[in-house]
Amino acid sequence: MASQNDDALKRLRCQRIGCNATFTEDDNPEGSCTFHDSGPIFHDGMKEWSCCKRRSHDFSLFLEIPGCKTGKHTTEKPVLTKPVATSKTPAPAPAPSTTLGSSTPSKELCSRCRQGFFCSDHGSQAKEQTNYAPAVPAGSNVAAEVPPVPVKKKIGINEPQICKNKGCGKTFKEKDNHETACSYHPGPAVFHDRMRGWKCCDIHVKEFDEFMGIPPCTKGWHDANLSS
């Protein structure tokens, strides 16, 4: 029992961006860590890792993009290479672009963004689609087909799951889940004028690694958000 407790105490959390794994000094071979070695770029609602050029409109999906470099785990916070903005040469005759009207509410006032859902008005892909029943011709006796309701996937109480709450990402078992097991940000994340922060706790910083280190402000249940 004592040796098991000693091993648990020796486990360290890797500080590389994109890793978040735990390790021990005795079990840290070369190539065990997968990470991003360059800072992200935020522009016009798009989030991009400058080291591998992979991008996403959705911040949660952006954080799930796997690292592009490998190495050893470390407890030292890495100094990220700040991306240099590259100027693109405009085309000789650029096509006119459609811009959002002044009547479009800002991201801070948008009801969908405030609830943690990203919307198309602010450069994000729609996450849900409404399913409509097919139209039935007049006088037809054929009943409209109703799409089935998604059934939540059944998970055993001892099966490991990964929490999808923003700022958590821990592995948990349902038998150990309770109303204060998870520390997370209800969100949403806010990126504006080179500042990064969380609207839920009103903390904003300039550097991305500082943003990732903002402690969660809310307690609740772990949520793996699983469906079939």
Residue 185 confidence (pLDDT) = 92
Distance (Å, whole) CA 70 – CA 171: 22
Residue 98 confidence (pLDDT) = 45
Residue 30 confidence (pLDDT) = 92
- The CATH architecture one would assign to domain 12-71 is Irregular (4.10)
CB 10 within 8 A of CB 51: no
Residue 5 confidence (pLDDT) = 55
Cβ atoms within 10 Å of 151's Cβ, excluding its own:
8
CB 160 within 8 A of CB 173: yes
- Bridge partners of 24, per DSSP, are 27
Q: With respect to CATH, is domain 160-220 assigned 4.10.1130.20?
A: yes
pLDDT in tens, the chain (228 residues): 555 555 555 788 888 888 878 889 888 899 999 998 887 888 777 888 888 988 888 888 888 888 899 999 998 887 766 655 554 555 555 555 444 444 555 666 666 666 666 566 666 544 444 455 555 556 555 555 666 766 666 777 788 888 888 888 888 888 888 889 999 998 788 887 778 888 898 888 888 878 888 899 999 988 887 543
Give the pTM: 0.43
Q: Where are the alpha helices (DSSP H) in the chain?
A: 2-10, 59-63, 111-114, 208-212
Task: Tell me whether domains 12-71 and 160-220 share a fold.
Answer: yes
CB 114 within 8 A of CB 188: yes
Residue 126 confidence (pLDDT) = 46
Q: Which of 219, 213, 212, 187 is nearest to 202 (CA)?
A: 187
Q: Where are the domains of the chain?
A: 12-71, 160-220
